[in-house]
Amino acid sequence: MSTEHPTTQTQEFERQPVPKENLKNWKSFLGMYAGEHAAGTEFMIGPLFLTAGVSAFDLIIGLLLGNLMAVLSWRYLTAEIAVKHRLTLYYQLEKICGKNLVTFYNLANGVLFCFLAGAMITVSATAVGIPFDMQMPKLTDTLPNSATWVVIVLVLGALIAIIAARGYNSVSKAANWMSPLIILGFLACGFVSLGQLGVSNFSEFWALWGEGSDPFPGQIKYTFWHVVLWSWFANAAMHIGMSDLTVFRYAKRPQSAWTTAAGMYIGHYVAWIAAALLYAVYLQSPEAQGFLANNEAPPVAPGPLAYNAIGIFGILAVVIAGWTTANPTIYRAGLAFQAIIPKASTFWVTILAGAIATIAGLFPAIAMKLLGFVALYGFILAPVGAVIVFEHFFARRAGITPNYAETSGIKVNMAVLLAWGLSFIIFYYISWSQDIFLSFVTLPAWLSCGLLFLVLSRWFQSRGMIRQ
């Protein structure tokens, strides 16, 4: 009889294909994606769209199209490759890129995931702080604003990290149990807000945004294409960046990826709009009008916004929504760190990821600048996924050897490093120099990285120029 704690015995198949007996049906993914994407950050993103001055058409039709593109990316890219190889992103990249290069990628990936999970902890903390009369962070806040804030974030982070560290089954079960409650919370917030705004028909609903407005102080103006591309690439690292190979390697069939539509259209459509309605109610308050009169953006604090609509249930919905989103994000970050130190326990590296996320959650700036942070994180990570996609679909036609680092024994595949580095430098410079929002150059950078990888791989491999 084993004396080891069961949480240290999680089997996540980090360096082998998932066995057939461990595969899961579509219901497992439905709950996870509905829970993860009808989430705490949705309470932030919806209001932030309002601060960007979107019009009704931009928001409603733009989100419809952008989320469709995200679902198609998961179904026809991520899941197809995941079901064929059944490997984590990190191990599959190691076979292509080499141990040393993938270590750098895993570090960047894990840290960025931790920051994203930290934003979700921040969101939950705004709800937990209501009974303690906690001062809420403002859009311009960077540092913790009180001891109460610090204590609440630390406690929430610890609880979330422990659940994530128990492995995929715990993450999936938590999402399945909690996602219906979260969805009900968003729907209730939306309908109550419509009543508070005096909206009784679709024309009045459309008129809430109308032709749009000027952005709030410190924010940029969003157009239709800002909304489409941002909503498509909000999860760029997960779909075209292939991070969700780690999730869909458990799927029996690639069709399980259609379940991502539950997350996109319940979470990234209904929930974003419902959260925007909460903020629209707040903007009519004397407090918000006072901020605007002083040329300041009114704060976006999800807890008080939801509490104003549906009371205690609103607090509960925000807390759980942040919880179920941070869980799989910390789980992914833990696997990234585990790939760097493969002899370490998955449980303890996930605890490490949770600790980093909790520290990040102490600083509200990440959550308050979430639109920009998510765009940056997708832009950095997504192009690496193009290496896997282009090798999977085009390696034979391009005349290159798949999994070249594994077959040749090299530690750094220069074709990958140059393709990723050149794509990042060129398109980040274009974005910076021309003041172009990063989501507009994410797809060009992704395509550039994939094409450069094929061309450089053929050149290097044909000349034997890749060395350890």
Nearest to 18 by CA among 85, 96, 94, 90: 85
* Contact between 43 and 203 (Cβ < 8 Å): no
pLDDT above 70: residue 20: yes
Q: Given phi > 0 = left and psi -120 to 50 = alpha, else beta, which region is 19? A: beta
Question: What digits encode the pLDDT tens for the residues 416-441?
Answer: 999 999 999 999 999 999 999 999 99
pLDDT-derived band at 368 (thresholds 50, 70, 90) equals: confident
Residue length, the chain? 468
Q: Reply yes or no on whether the pLDDT at 7 is more than 70.
A: no
Rg, the chain, Cα only: 22
User: Considering only 130-134, 171-175, 186-190, 375-379, which range has the smallest mean pLDDT?
Assistant: 171-175
Rounded to a whole number, what is the largest CA-CA distance in the chain?
70
The pLDDT of residue 246 is 84
Q: Select from 7, 130, 43 the least CA-distant residue to 367.
A: 43
Q: Which two tokens stand for residue 237?
A: 């690292």
Determine the angle formed by the axes of helices 312-340 and 147-165, rounding to 10 degrees: 60
What is the model's pLDDT at position 6? 32
Domain ranges of the chain: 18-382
Which of the two residues, 376 and 165, has the higher pLDDT score? 376
Residue 128 near residue 315 (C-beta atoms within 8 A): yes
pLDDT at 1 over 80: no
pLDDT band at 74 (very low <50, low <70, confident <90, very high): very high
How far is 378 from 240, CA to CA, in rounded Å? 9
Q: What is the pLDDT of residues 315-354, one digit of tens each?
A: 888 887 777 777 777 877 887 787 788 777 778 888 888 8
pLDDT at 443: 96
pLDDT tens-digit readout, 165-188: 776 566 656 666 777 778 888 899
Residue 445 reports pLDDT greater than 80: yes
Candidates 335, 415, 423; CA nearest to 379 is: 423
What's the confidence (pLDDT) of residue 176?
64
Contact 194, 205 (CB under 8 A): yes
Tracing tokens 């903007």 back to the chain, one arrives at 283
Confidence tier at 141 by pLDDT (50, 70, 90) = confident
Residue 10 has a pLDDT of 46
- Cα 322 from chain centre: 12
Per the model's pLDDT, the better-predicted residue between 331 and 225 turns out to be 225
C-beta of residue 454 within 8 angstroms of C-beta of residue 397: no
Query: How far is the C-alpha of 468 from the C-alpha of 464, rounded, in Å?
Result: 11
| 18-382 CATH pick, 1.10.4160.10, 3.40.190.10, 3.40.50.300, 3.40.50.970 | 1.10.4160.10
Instruction: Give the DSSP letter string of 403-465.
Output: THHHHH--S--HHHHHHHHHHHHHHHHHHHHHT--THHHHHHHHHHHHHHHHHHHHHHHHHT-
How confident is residue 255, by pLDDT bands cut at 50, 70 and 90? Answer: very high
The Cα–Cα gap between 155 and 152 comes to 5
Handedness of CA 80, 83, 86, 88 (dihedral sign): positive
In the chain, pLDDT over 70 holds for what percent of residues? 94
- Res 3 pLDDT > 50: no
Q: What is the mean pLDDT of the chain?
A: 85
Non-local (6+) Cβ contacts of 139 within 8 A are 51, 218, 297, 298, 299, 300, 368
CB atoms within 10 A of CB 430: 14
Q: Minimal CA–CA distance to 236: which of 446, 453, 450? A: 446
Q: What is the pLDDT of residue 14?
A: 66
Three-state DSSP class for 149? helix
The pLDDT tens digits for 185-194 are 889 999 999 9
pLDDT over 80 (residue 127): yes
Dihedral Cα 125, 131, 137, 139, nearest 10 deg: 90
Q: What is the mean pLDDT of residues 76-80?
A: 96
With tokens 């491999």, the residue in question is: 461
Residue 468 above 50 pLDDT? no
Q: Rounded to an integer, what distance in angstroms lies between the CA atom of residue 237 and that of residue 385?
A: 8
